[in-house]
Structure 1
Amino acid sequence: MKFEDYQPYLSPALAKATDLIVESGQGCYLTDSHGDRYLDFVQGIAVNALGHCHPKIVEAITEQAKQLINASFNLVNYPATLKLAKRLSEVTPGRLNSVFFSNGGAEAVDGALKLARAYTKRPAIIAFQGSFHGRTFGALSVTGSNAKYRRYYEGLVGSVYFTAYPSKDLCPKGFSESERTAFCLNELDHLFQNLIAPDQVAAIIMEPVQGEGGYVVPSKTFVQGIRSRCDQYGILLIMDEIQSGYGRTGKMFASEYFDVVPDIMTVGKAIAGGLPMSAVVSTPEIMAEWHPGMHGTTFGGHPVCAAAALAVLDEFEASNVLDHVNRAGAYLRDRLKEFQKKYDCISDVRGLGLMLAIEFSHPDGTPAGDILEKVRAGCLKNKLLTLSCGVHNNGMRFATPLNVRKEEIDQGIAIIDHVLSQVCPKRED
């Protein structure tokens, strides 16, 4: 079987990073149609929380599919989905206890924006430069990581305003973390003064750790500054935890690092262990303004996905996954820091838990996306799947399973080290 034989039947809108045809997966590995085995540090873009085909998830999917595949959650209730809603309320922060199930991250973001407008009766939304929230019209309207996503689609959803996120790439050059924090909070205050009155803003939507924007971790002062402004002006804070949530950072949700509870949260990706599922989660009071018929879904709350999601939560508890993420993340970070000391082209290592990235730069400090692509191509040739990130596309992000083993990290590090030795000059002692 060859991909090119079937490519004419697929829309080119779906960009393909490889021409691999994968037939099976287990844990941290994928096997293609030729029998070649690849170490997978992408995991469906942080979707497979417990790796490929975790036995407990496979068992849950199989047992549910034997009983019922779908009957529409609009019409009937499913035991697995009801249990999942309750279980989610037990792990989400604060009083985020009311759940609306969806199918993917962008759909959840669209729902969150609608919910914020429905509750506040206000028109405007504020988002951040460098953000990625999805490609549907609503999610795309609050995405600010790359103009290519928006080309030919203007005008998008109206009354959306962008402000600065405290990334080195989006702030004046040479600013320290505290200076970036102050600069970005001032930019938001100027937005309120000059462009949109705060009493017209329904919500501020943010990733507590930017994903595609480069795995950028803001300061606690910045996140709490956003929360305090929302409280001051009656604005809802939406945390997009689709990539950063569900244990990826070493806490169940990244917002916990900043001691901030949002008013609305979106979750997805890892929630169902590889199946398509997402959710909008909020307080009962906010959800009460989302009356029947104001939003809807055909497949949301799917019982097979819910069964898989329950198995994910069970395994999180049984195997102390969050503790493992913190240990494995610290080990991976140390190994990546070794790269930064060893190679001139690695300018930064950042992230939390197993949400880590390395940044590639040229000697003059300019983004080195060209070097990154050479490294990724070399990794693929050596049977390692990797993923890029960053507003300049010069970051390599790591999205290993949350239960990744030390020997799998070491295997991936060895491959990257081998490729870097061929592409990047070593630092002089």
Structure 2
Amino acid sequence: MSRPEIRITPPGPKAREVASKDSELIMQSFARWYPFVAKRGQGVWLEDVDGNKYLDFNSGIGVTNVGHAHPKVVKAIKEQAERLLHYSLTDFLYETPVQLAEKLVKITPGSFPKKVFYANSGAEAIEAAIKVARGHFRGTRPYIIAFAGSFHGRTMGALSLTASKPVQRRGFAPLVPGVVHVPYPYCYRCPFRQKYPDCNLWCVDYIEEWVLKKYVPPEEVAAIVFEPIAGEGGYIVPPPDFFKRLKELADKYGILLVDDEVQAGIGRTGKWFAIEHWGVEPDLVAIAKGIASGLPLGVLVGRKDVMDLPPGSHASTFGGNPVSCAAAIATLEVIEEERLLENAARVGEDAMRRLNELKEEVPAIGDVRGKGLMIGVELVKPDGSPNPELLKATLENAFKSGLLVIGAGVSTIRIAPPLIITKEEIDVGLEILSDSLKKALRTVG
């Protein structure tokens, strides 16, 4: 395919039928952007139940990094499923988790010895990170610092770190105690009303001067948990020296750095892990989403001397499932063999260029930011404030035109196609996105 094919204006009759039953039978605790009902996918293309074909700028929320139904991944899943589906890594052993771990300790940042823990999702990888960080200090460091504006998951421990949108936390208090939030380095809308670089990275100094020196003893802080690029918060990229300074602060007080790469990792930004762009080696790295091409798998990789929880203190019945691990091994091999890191960097750079050109033409685009194929386009009102109504209308127009793209933050278009996407395919998507935005401006303004 070279372009989307819309045969029936979506949502079509079959999609509406599924949506109606979904609403009746499934708890509606999630917010969907529009009623797309997926039937099959191949590469960067998806088909709905009514036969419409769409270009994918979403990758199932950053999951299908090597494209939908990649033959090598499908083959690995089939072969492993025929051999063994499950016997529980908690009490016994498999070959595939060991083989995957051998690969992960090589590609994750850090030249030190490492160990791996397997879970089922990004939220579970973060839960493991919380327990490892606190457990490593044997209860002497109960506090964890996280960033306002970041998303780390919806299970109770991960939710306690999450501070992306109030709806994610509303009604669930009390959450896990001991979590302290500080502002994320969002230069376009600096919470301190300063300008980089004149600010001299006050967002880091604030942690030391107003948190560690005022009310949270640094010797009682186990970890600082961060997203290298804030995902759900709006695809926000920190300024160049932020992580270097954060690392210096953490090292000064013996605090662990926990890098949440659930959305930004596995090649999304043109490197295996986004933190590599800043040359910082975290102590723990949480991985999920793109690791297994859609099969449930979460991973925590960390320094061997930190990953020292005693036997029986943490486990997961389904963590390290052999089918998921087989899919992950194949996924990593595809990224290497097809040079998808290079493709993500190259195609992403061209997309950023085109989007910045569109920004000059359309004042409603306030900011274009990102790395590789993790790009955010923030939409604003004439006064510069966020424009969620324009975002909603733009995404709906794109959907009806055959482009699947969603939002992040308050009013940011989230562009995260499969890493296999070509320049020609992303040009088609950006053309549709541009037309959809301009059409939305005529109705929403």
TM-score by length of 2: 0.92
Distance 1:373 1:240 in 2: 28
Distance 1:251 1:400 in 2: 15
Distance 2:244 2:133 in 1: 20
1:19 CA displacement: 2.5
1:385 CA displacement: 1.1
Task: Output one character per residue of 1:311-367: Cα deviation in whole Å (capped at 9) or x when no partner.
Answer: 111112211111111111111111211210111100111011111110101111111
Q: Determine which of 125, 148, 172 is the counterpart of 1:129.
A: 148
- Equivalent positions of 1:167-316 (< 5 A) are 167=186, 168-173=188-193, 175-180=194-199, 182-189=201-208, 190-288=210-308, 290-316=309-335
Task: Output one character per residue of 1:159-180: Cα deviation in whole Å (capped at 9) or x when no partner.
Answer: 110111110334234x322245
Distance 1:17 1:372 in 2: 10
Q: Determine which of 103, 122, 125 is the counterpart of 1:108.
A: 125
Q: Determine which of 38, 44, 56 is the counterpart of 2:54.
A: 38
Task: Output one character per residue of 1:39-95: Cα deviation in whole Å (capped at 9) or x when no partner.
Answer: 111111000011111111111111111111111112322222110011111111112
In structure 1, what residue type is equivalent to 2:302? S
Distance 1:117 1:85 in 2: 23
Q: Tell me if the contact between 2:57 and 2:415 (Cα under 8 Å) persists in the aligned partners.
A: yes
In structure 2, what residue type is equivalent to 1:414? E
Distance 2:198 2:122 in 1: 32
Residue in 2 that maps onto 1:338: 357
Residue in 1 that maps onto 2:39: 23
Unaligned runs of 5+ in 2: 1-13
Q: Tell me if the contact between 1:248 and 1:353 (Cα under 8 Å) persists in the aligned partners.
A: yes
Residue in 2 that maps onto 1:80: 96
Question: Which moves more between the two structures, 91-100 or 140-149?
Answer: 91-100
In structure 2, what residue type is equivalent to 1:407? E
Residue in 1 that maps onto 2:25: 9
Tell whether 2:176 aligns with 1:157. yes
Distance 1:180 1:145 in 2: 24
In structure 2, what residue type is equivalent to 1:349? V
Distance 1:255 1:77 in 2: 32
Runs of 4+ in 1 over 4 A off after TM superposition: none
TM-score by length of 1: 0.95
Distance 1:316 1:419 in 2: 32
Q: Tell me if the contact between 1:202 and 1:235 (Cα under 8 Å) persists in the aligned partners.
A: yes
SS at match of 2:241: helix
Task: Output one character per residue of 1:13-54: Cα deviation in whole Å (capped at 9) or x when no partner.
Answer: 133333332211111111111111111111110000111111
Tell whether 2:79 aligns with 1:59. no
> Percent of aligned positions with the same letter in both sequences?
40
Distance 1:54 1:109 in 2: 28
Q: Tell me if the contact between 1:96 and 1:264 (Cα under 8 Å) persists in the aligned partners.
A: no
Residue in 1 that maps onto 2:84: 68
Question: Which moves more between the two structures, 124-133 or 406-415?
Answer: 406-415
Q: Tell me if the contact between 2:33 and 2:406 (Cα under 8 Å) persists in the aligned partners.
A: no
Residue in 2 that maps onto 1:373: 392
In structure 1, what residue type is equivalent to 2:72? K
Distance 1:47 1:129 in 2: 24
Q: Tell me if the contact between 1:166 and 1:181 (Cα under 8 Å) persists in the aligned partners.
A: no
Residue in 2 that maps onto 1:49: 65
Tell whether 2:431 aligns with 1:414. yes
RMSD: 1.3
Distance 1:164 1:19 in 2: 34
In structure 2, what residue type is equivalent to 1:74? T
